[in-house]
Amino acid sequence: MITPTPLMQLVAGVWGFKTLAVGIEFGLFTRLAGGRAITVTEAAAEFGMDERPADLLLAASASLGLLEKAGAGYRNSELAEQFLVEGRPYYFGAQIRYSDLRTYLPWHRIGEALRSNRPLTWDPQQQQSMFDTNDPKMVAEFWDAMFSTSRFTAHALADAYDFGAHHRLLDVGGGAGAFPIELCQRLPQLRATILDLPHVCARAEERIADADLTGRIGTVAGDFLADPTLPDGHDVILLSMIMHDWDEATNRALLARCHAALPSGGAIVISELLLNEERTGPPEAALMGMNMLVETEGGKNYSGAEYAIWLDDAGFVDARVVAFDAPGANGAVVARRP
């Protein structure tokens, strides 16, 4: 028998997200790192709240798989221990915090975005793009969120696609360097270059130094949308979580510049949340497309088949999709320059 229960689960989706976000805000999972358990009474004292809200927070977090019961107390689940404790290699809390601060409230006006076809998190009449802002706190939150999402995505991509045959990687719009750091730590033969805006390169250089990879990962300050050419001398180009920000014409122009920058036999890797050919899912790709309505002027999520057509038109051959499971992508479209 069909019931409206799935609809109620959608209604409650925002409750689950806000429970997760407040756990990050309070530092709940970081405080419970290493197997520590906490009772309701202890949580109330530690977080400065009455026992009733403490009880509700812990129970709700456990119901979401973030905590598990340990005697009279609660401790981190494996999921929380790996991804919600600050300082862990694949800490995901920065993405949760950014989404809570930046995109959650604008999503309340999604009908406005659908009617106007304009972003909600920035004003195109005042800014050139969503990346053009004078708010240093939000800039820091954004790039930390992108690194947070990208680091495990890079881990999953490296498991799915063999970068071992490559020696020089160009990460176009590489942000703070999550992909080159993950890949260079795995592959001793690999060197990498990050192409991004000057202030982003500065953040990347800090992350690269922290990873002790300054000698193997460099940065080039530039605008991959405006610069007529891309840096050459690389045998693989990575476009990760880049192309969903832009419309088809912009993406096709970028692929043409990638083709020109690669040598014969060079590869291109497009890592994205890919829609199926029917454009009916999966939800993570389709809903990210809705988020592009909130965050960008022309962005949307595309299917692997669409990328394959664009790659073929740009002169690439042998396009194929490599599937994997990660927060920033569910697959990569890979092709080579003949």
How far is residue 93's CA from residue 86's CA, in Å, rounded to a whole number?
7
Nearest to 150 by CA among 239, 275, 33: 239
How far is residue 102's CA from residue 116's CA, in Å, rounded to a whole number?
20
How far is residue 127's CA from residue 120's CA, in Å, rounded to a whole number?
12
| The dihedral formed by the CA atoms of 42, 47, 52 and 58, expressed in degrees to the nearest 10 | -70
How far is residue 269's CA from residue 252's CA, in Å, rounded to a whole number?
14
244 among known catalytic residues:
yes
How far is residue 300's CA from residue 291's CA, in Å, rounded to a whole number?
8
- Set 155, 166, 234, 244: catalytic member: 244
DSSP state of 103: I
* Structural tokens at position 232: 């050459």
Cis peptide, bond prior to residue 119, ω within 30 of zero: no
How far is residue 70's CA from residue 76's CA, in Å, rounded to a whole number?
10
How far is residue 133's CA from residue 138's CA, in Å, rounded to a whole number?
8
Strand 331-336 to strand 317-323: parallel, antiparallel, or no bridges (unpaired)? antiparallel
Known catalytic residues are: 244
